[in-house]
Amino acid sequence: MAGRTGLWLIGARGSVATTAVCGLAAFRAGLVPATGCVSERLDLDPAVFPGWSELVTGGHDIVATPLAKRAEDLADAGVLPGWLPSAVAEDLRAADREIRQRFDPAGSSGPQAEAAGQLASDIVDFRRSQDLDRVVVVNVSSTEPPITPLPEHADLDGLERALAEPGRPVLPPSALAAYAAFSAGCPYVDFTPSPGLRIPAVTELADRRGLPYAGCDGKTGETLLRSALAPMFLARGLRVRSWSGTNLLGGGDGANLGREGRAQGKLAAKTRGLAALLGAEATAPLHIDHVPDLGERKVAWDYVSFEGFLGASMSLQLTWDGYDSALAAPLVLDLARLVAGAHAAGQSGPLGALAFFFKDPLGSEEHRLARQEQELAAWADRIAVAR
């Protein structure tokens, strides 16, 4: 047994987090198989990688809505089976008790170092009170707009001096969360495209503490399809001229990304992935629109225009219609197990072998899905053999 392991969710009352907590409770009770979980398919060493029954959840959110209410809403929207919220009601109450409500630190008048200290001490208390061997922190909070880099973002000493100044919002919430996680000695995963792990001073703290981290932005829909299909065009010598995408999103994520500037990080992450797969020559216009009527669903429509033998013009059209949180939640649970294993095995720095999970992977330039899958499996095997 790997030992009791914490999964601390930033944005713990959101759709993805609530779906993950419900799913974990259902696996533990043997109510459903772990469909969609990649870690189930890997040959994981149970002495290093925690099993479902060893995971305990907690987290931060800025809202207080009970998980039971969020789960009911997700069941009404079709993401969760209708019988599930009542079947796991006791687990949801236990998970609720481990969520701390903390307000957006950027809005506070005190030094951000104080806010980071509070976040870190919540995580340390959770580890101690639940008697956990380690805690993996995963950011599934609302996506933030891109930031303008500050000189203090370049190195940790400069950042810490700036964090001590009252009323200076030096870091956006995602970066403060990562900084707090590393300060608490925890590995960190960014499942969002927010800027947190792209700030060198923040990852310098992880390096100094010898901690692993992974990101950015979970690959769950359109980008997943692209990373599987773009290599096919290349392998057959077909020339992709353009790959256009339209994403229609309902839900909280859709509402947030519909706000001015919020979708920029996600659009940039998607575009970088496609350029890495196809080269800069293919044009790739992309849209994200909020359509409240879709509820928790996401519909992505792709139109690929390509050229074949003797210049013949052809196209491929695809529609992806999914429940965003049902696609994301199993990956969040996988990442908790895998990153806990990396930490237990003494790994540090960006976990490029986990590129399979991300639109914009840290520590890897590989975007081809099949290659990413092979690298992930080889990594898991190496950890098992190294013991």
Ligand X SMILES: NC(=O)c1ccc[n+]([C@@H]2O[C@H](COP(=O)([O-])OP(=O)(O)OC[C@H]3O[C@@H](n4cnc5c(N)ncnc54)[C@H](O)[C@@H]3O)[C@@H](O)[C@H]2O)c1
Q: Least Å distance between CB 372 and ligand X?
A: 16
Shorter beta-carbon distance to ligand X: residue 218 or 245: 218
Is 188 in contact with 237 (CB distance < 8 Å)?
no
Q: Which one-letter DSSP state was computed for residue 31?
A: S
Reading the block at residue 45, the tokens are 């060493």
Angstrom CA distances, 26 to 41, 71, 346, stand at 19, 13, 31
Q: Which position's Cβ is nearest ligand X?
A: 14
Determine contact, residues 303/257, Cβ cutoff 8 Å: no
Q: Which residues of 139-153 are buried (b: 16+ CB within 10 A; e: fewer)?
A: bbbbbbeebeebebb
Tokens 């190294």 -> residue: 386
Binding mask 75-114 for ligand X (x = CB under 6 A): -----------------------------x----------
Helix (H) or strand (E) holding 309: none
Residues 6+ apart with CB under 8 A from 284: 242, 243, 244, 245, 271, 274, 275, 278
Binding to ligand X by residue 190, rule CB under 6 A? no
Least spacing, CB of residue 79 vs ligand X, in Å: 10
Measured from the CB atom, the residue of 5 and 192 that comes closer to ligand X is: 192
* Residue among 188, 182, 214 at smallest CA distance from 201: 182
Q: How far is the CB of 369 from ligand X (least distance, A)?
A: 16
Residue 202 main-chain phi, psi, to 5 deg: -75, -45
In one-letter notation, the amino acid at residue 89 is A
Cβ at position 358, least distance to ligand X in Å: 9
Per the DSSP assignment, residues forming a β-bridge with 313 are 307
337 binding ligand X? (CB under 6 A)? no
Q: Does 372 bind ligand X (CB under 6 A)?
A: no
Stretch that binds ligand X, among 11-19, 151-159, 201-209, 372-380 (CB under 6 A): 11-19
Letters for 219-258 (x = contact with ligand X by CB under 6 A, - = none) are -x------------------------------xxx--x--
Question: Which residue's CB is nearer to ligand X, number 233 or number 330?
Answer: 330
Rounded distance, CA 39 to CA 181, Å?
Answer: 24
CB of 322: closest distance to ligand X in angstroms?
A: 8
| Contacting ligand X within 60-79 (CB under 6 A) | 60-63
What dihedral do alpha carbons 189, 193, 197, 200 form, nearest 10°? 160
Quick one: 63 or 386, whose CB is closer to ligand X? 63
Which positions from 262 through 321 interact with ligand X, judged by CB under 6 A?
A: none
Shortest gap between Cβ of 85 and ligand X (angstroms)? 16
CA dihedral 174, 180, 184, 189 (to 10 degrees): 10
Q: Does 122 bind ligand X (CB under 6 A)?
A: no
Q: How far is the CB of 38 from ligand X (least distance, A)?
A: 14
SS3 state at 386? helix
* By CB under 6 A, residue 186 contacts ligand X: no
Binding residues (CB under 6 A) for ligand X: these are 10-11, 13-16, 60-63, 104, 140-143, 173, 191-192, 217-218, 220, 251-253, 256, 324-325, 327-328
